[in-house]
């Protein structure tokens, strides 16, 4: 039988059972949509976590805390870290400092609010997007966020940032003076005492989205930060002395961190902790995949049962017609091919429908992510992955064929004499 | 002249009911009418002659080939090549136009060229005086017209024998006449036509008339 005619009959049979075709397709489309969007979402989250968040220096940095006076341990740690090829940089960590801007009247439009910055020691991994980087010998320079917002009550979360963020580039070349205070712990309530000022010139800006930083976090030279820290300690009255010390090290890739841990732990019993942890987002992809798979499987099971029965019903209704084809001399394999093609067509329709729907959904979700979610989530980029497309294609062809089996068995048993029985 | 179909002592048993009893019959060219009351075994006989159903005992020959020796696919081939069927319910595909319905049997005929199938379907409809209805859907045709489409479909692969089971059962007197005269025409062009009916009016077209009573066939002279 000529292929063209198969398609001709199949096409017309599908037109005739339009409503059934639509309802079968809808069930399959639902299953495929849950499956594909689940896989897309899970893999987008995974991609974001692994290719972006975990690649940012903040998440590649680990801390080792040890007793300050244990120079032996400190030297051993330095030895190990210097030998490890995956460790890019290591140093004794100087604690970050927060303070208010003294010359805010010159820098910002008048407002009631104080302007706050938080200092980190610049390391080689900070990527400057405009301006210059901080080199080893620089003094009194700083890299500020491109997305600049000096409110210490604010924290980047899931939601889009306020629209009064400033452009850090406008501050390049300007000098910012900070005031820090030491604390008098000798009597309660504690008092801020002995203010000290620090001035730095803005030489570049970085992207807080890429570095996973807050919009008021500024990088200054390591030595500057250490000086501020030591100076403030000197000016502090009372309080307990910090006996701990911390070595920070940055690895080239989070996946290589474990090797470094193992080496350190096997040689020295010291705790290692990541500088930043992700919490729920890290496992969210996995959860979505599990929940989505369960839903997909349930929908697929419903589809299998539902479509099987209604296909069988459809074939029974066509008993006379199929009997007539047999009376005309159609062989079982020709009838089987015809029915399979009908099923396959439903599968293809469903696949096309669900792929277009998912593509549209992905477009809308990506737009929402870009326009409604925070800068640190803009690397969450949904896409239709090839593997999910392959799985969807397999399912969209398998469901109709599997559910066609009952009807097919029935059709093959129909006797040509059925055609003669009047309706 | 040799018979197209020969039945020798065929019977059909359903449980303890013998629907066709030890029946012998030769079918050559011409218009054959098998009359009989409801339940007398007419359809059962037609099914066996048309290779739609097997006889319980006895032999059927199609051009001297023994049917019980044939495989299912050989029987299917004979049904495609040698026979055409017309039924009381027309069984046209509702979403196919008249000429497309006529094309269906030709799809599986390896002897026909693809390019000719459509033309042949249209010609057959002209023959059935439905030239102007060839692009209509079944629900746009009267019962008589639908039955003529079914006859055109039965003629599609140029069969030697047309079997018609109660072809006028769903038709009014006017349409009945037209359909029967077409079947008569066909029988006059060297084909066999076997009509099974309990409609007395069919008899006037007959070359041979048979009566069936409780599975026993008797030719009326
Ligand atoms: N598949 C079957 N199983 C059991 N009995 C059957 C079967 N087909 C037919 N019969 C019986 O065989 C007898 C003959 O049936 P058949 O259909 O041949 O009659 P008919 O002459 O065509 O009747 P009608 O004019 O009503 O069509 C009837 O008693 C019928 O009940
Ligand atoms: Mg009958």
Please give the pLDDT value at position A277. 84
pLDDT-derived band at B213, boundaries 50, 70, 90: very high
Separation between Cα atoms, residue A135 and residue B74, nearest integer Å: 91
How many angstroms separate the alpha carbon of residue B194 from the centre of ligand 1? 18
Task: Give residue A241's region: left, alpha or beta (phi > 0; psi -120 to 50).
Answer: beta
Chain B residues near residue A325 by CB distance under 8 angstroms? 104
Map tokens 């093609």 to a residue. A341
Do A57 and A211 touch, CB atoms closer than 8 A? yes
In whole angstroms, what separates CA A208 from the centre of its chain? 16
* CB-CB under 8 Å, B77 with A9: no
Sign of CA dihedral A335, A336, A342, A348: negative
pLDDT at A285: 84
Question: Residue B48: is the preceding peptide bond cis (ω within 30°)?
Answer: no
pLDDT digits (tens, 9 = 90+) for A162-208: 888 999 999 999 999 999 998 888 888 888 888 999 999 999 999 99
Instruction: Write A190-197 long-range contacts (CB < 8 A, 24+).
Output: A193/A235, A193/A237, A194/A235, A196/A228, A196/A231, A196/A232, A196/A235, A197/A102
The CA-based diameter of chain A, rounded to the nearest angstrom, is 108
Q: How far is CA A70 from the centre of its chain?
A: 41
Distance CA B151, CA B164 (A): 9
pLDDT above 70: residue B63: yes
Please give the pLDDT value at position A97.
87
Pocket test for ligand 1, best of B12, B23, B42, B213 (most atoms within 8 A of CB): B42
Which contiguous run of DSSP H or E holds residue A65?
Answer: strand A61-67
Could you tell me the distance, in angstroms and rounded to a whole number, from the CA of residue A103 to the centre of ligand 1? Answer: 108
pLDDT band at residue A355 using 50, 70 and 90 as cut-offs: very high
Ordered strands of the B216-220 beta sheet: B83-87, B161-165, B192-197, B30-36, B208-213, B216-220
Give percent above pLDDT 90 in chain B.
74
Query: Which residues, 6+ apart, have CB-to-CB distance to A360 below 8 Å?
Result: none
Residues A132-147 have a mean pLDDT of 92
Asked if residue A1 has pLDDT above 80, the reply is no
With the most atoms of ligand 1 within 8 angstroms of its CB, the residue from B41, B45, B168, B216 to mutate is: B41
3-state helix, strand, coil in chain A (%, to 5): 55, 20, 25
Q: What is the mean pLDDT of chain A?
A: 90
Q: CA B175, CA B143: separation in Å to the nearest integer?
A: 8
Q: Is the pLDDT of residue A423 over 70?
A: no
CA distance A178 to A141: 12
| Residue range B201-213: mean pLDDT, rounded | 93
Q: Which residues of A touch B (CB under 8 A)?
A: 1-2, 4-5, 8-9, 12-13, 15-16, 320-321, 324-331, 334, 415-417, 419-420, 422-423
How many residues are given for chain A? Answer: 423
Query: Residue B1 has what pLDDT?
Result: 46
pLDDT of B106: 92
DSSP A278: -
Task: Give yes or no for residue B191 CB within 6 A of ligand 1.
Answer: no
The reported pLDDT for the residue numbered A185 is 87
Half-sphere exposure of B8 (CA within 13 A, CB side): 11
Residue A419 clears pLDDT 80, i.e. is over it: no
ipTM of this complex: 0.92
Residue A80 vs residue A282, higher pLDDT: A80
- Is the minimum distance from the CB of B38 to ligand 1 under 6 angstroms? yes
For residue A16, pLDDT over 90 is answered with no
Interchain pair B89, A320: CB under 8 A: yes
Sort strands B192-197 and B161-165 into parallel, antiparallel or unpaired. Answer: parallel
Query: Taking residues A320-338, what's their average pLDDT?
Result: 91
CA of A202 from ligand 1 middle (Å) equals 102
Residue B65 CA, distance from chain mean position: 20
Q: Within 13 Å and on the Cβ side, how many CA atoms surround B65?
A: 11
Asked whether B42 lines ligand 1 (CB < 6 A), one says: yes
Binning chain B into helix, strand and coil, the percentages to the nearest 5 are: 40, 30, 35
- Statement: residue B169 has pLDDT above 60: yes
pLDDT tier at B215 (50, 70, 90 boundaries)?
very high
Q: Tell me whether residue A180 is exposed, middle or buried, using C-beta atoms within 10 angstroms of its C-beta: 0 to 12, 13 to 18, 19 or more.
A: buried
Q: What is the nearest CA distance from A372 to chain B, expressed in angstroms?
A: 50
Average pLDDT over residues B108-116: 85
Residue B93: other Cβ atoms inside 10 A: 19
Residue A157 pLDDT level (bands cut at 50, 70, 90): confident
**Among B52, B139, B156, the residue to mutate for chain A (most A Cβ within 10 A):** B52
For the record, the structure tokens of A9 come out as 């009959």
Most confident of A1-5, A53-57, A356-360, B65-69: A356-360
Q: What is the pTM of this model?
A: 0.79
pLDDT in tens, A65-97: 999 888 999 999 999 999 999 999 999 988 888
How many angstroms separate the CA atoms of B221 and B208, rounded? 8
Q: Is the CB of residue B19 below 6 angstroms from any atom belonging to ligand 1?
A: yes
- Give the whole-angstrom CA distance, residue A330 versus residue A5: 13
pLDDT of residue B2: 64
């Amino acid at each position: 039988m000529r292929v063209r005619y198969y398609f001709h009959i199949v096409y017309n049979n599908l037109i005739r059972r339009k409503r059934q075709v639509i309802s079968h397709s809808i069930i399959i489309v639902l299953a495929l949509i849950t499956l594909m969007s689940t896989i897309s979402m899970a893999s987008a989250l995974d991609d974001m976590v692994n290719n972006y968040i975990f690649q940012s220096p903040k998440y590649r940095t680990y801390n080792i805390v040890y007793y300050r006076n244990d120079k032996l341990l400190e030297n051993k740690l330095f030895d190990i870290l210097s030998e490890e090829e995956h460790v890019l940089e290591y140093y004794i960590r100087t604690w970050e400092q927060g303070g208010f801007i003294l010359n805010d009247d010159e820098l910002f439009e008048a407002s009631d609010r104080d302007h706050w910055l938080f200092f980190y020691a610049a390391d080689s991994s900070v990527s400057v997007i405009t301006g210059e980087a901080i080199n080893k010998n620089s003094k009194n320079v700083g890299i500020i966020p491109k997305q600049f917002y000096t409110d210490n009550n604010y924290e980047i979360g899931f939601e889009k940032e306020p629209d009064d963020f400033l452009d850090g580039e406008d501050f390049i070349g300007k000098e910012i003076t900070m005031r820090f205070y030491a604390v008098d712990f000798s009597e309660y309530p504690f008092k801020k005492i002995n203010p000290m000022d620090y001035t730095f010139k803005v030489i570049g800006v970085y992207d807080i989205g890429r570095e996973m930083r807050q919009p008021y976090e500024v990088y200054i030279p390591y030595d500057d930060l250490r000086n501020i820290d030591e100076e403030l300690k000197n000016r502090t009255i009372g309080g307990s002395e910090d006996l701990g010390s911390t070595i920070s090290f940055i690895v080239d890739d989070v996946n290589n961190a474990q090797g470094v841990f193992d080496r350190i732990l096997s040689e020295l019993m010291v705790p290692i902790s990541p500088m930043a942890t992700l919490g729920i987002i890290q496992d969210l992809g996995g959860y979505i995949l599990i929940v989505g798979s369960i839903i997909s499987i349930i929908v697929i099971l419903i589809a299998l049962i539902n479509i099987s029965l209604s296909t069988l019903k459809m074939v029974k209704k066509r008993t006379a017609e199929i009997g007539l084809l047999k009376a005309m001399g159609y062989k079982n394999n020709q009838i089987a091919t015809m029915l399979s093609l009908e099923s396959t067509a439903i599968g293809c329709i469903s696949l096309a429908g669900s792929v277009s729907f998912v593509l549209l959904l992905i477009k809308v979700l990506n737009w929402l992510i870009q326009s409604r979610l925070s800068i640190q989530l803009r690397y969450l980029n949904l896409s239709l992955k090839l593997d999910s497309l392959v799985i969807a294609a397999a399912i969209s062809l398998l469901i109709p064929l599997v559910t066609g089996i009952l009807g097919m068995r029935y059709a093959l048993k129909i006797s040509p004499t059925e055609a003669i029985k009047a309706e | 002249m040799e018979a197209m179909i020969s039945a020798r002592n065929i019977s059909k048993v359903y449980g303890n009911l013998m629907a066709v009893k030890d029946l012998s019959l030769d079918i050559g060219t011409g218009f054959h009418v098998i009359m009989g009351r409801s339940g007398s075994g007419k359809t059962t006989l037609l099914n066996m002659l048309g290779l739609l159903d097997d006889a319980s005992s006895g032999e059927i020959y199609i051009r001297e080939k023994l049917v019980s020796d044939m495989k299912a696919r050989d029987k299917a081939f004979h049904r495609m090549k040698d026979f055409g069927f017309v039924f009381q319910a027309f069984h046209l595909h509702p979403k196919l136009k008249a000429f497309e319905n006529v094309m269906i049997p030709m799809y599986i005929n390896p002897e026909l060229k693809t390019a000719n199938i459509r033309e042949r379907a249209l010609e057959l409809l002209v023959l059935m005086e439905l030239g102007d209805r060839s692009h209509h859907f079944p629900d746009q045709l009267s019962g008589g017209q639908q039955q003529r489409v079914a006859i055109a479909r039965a003629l599609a692969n140029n069969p030697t024998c047309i079997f018609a089971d109660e072809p006028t059962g769903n038709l009014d007197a006017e349409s009945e006449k037209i359909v029967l005269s077409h079947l008569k025409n066909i029988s006059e062009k060297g084909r066999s036509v076997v009509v099974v009916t309990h409609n007395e009016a069919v008899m006037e077209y007959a070359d041979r008339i048979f009566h069936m009573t409780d599975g026993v066939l008797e030719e009326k002279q």
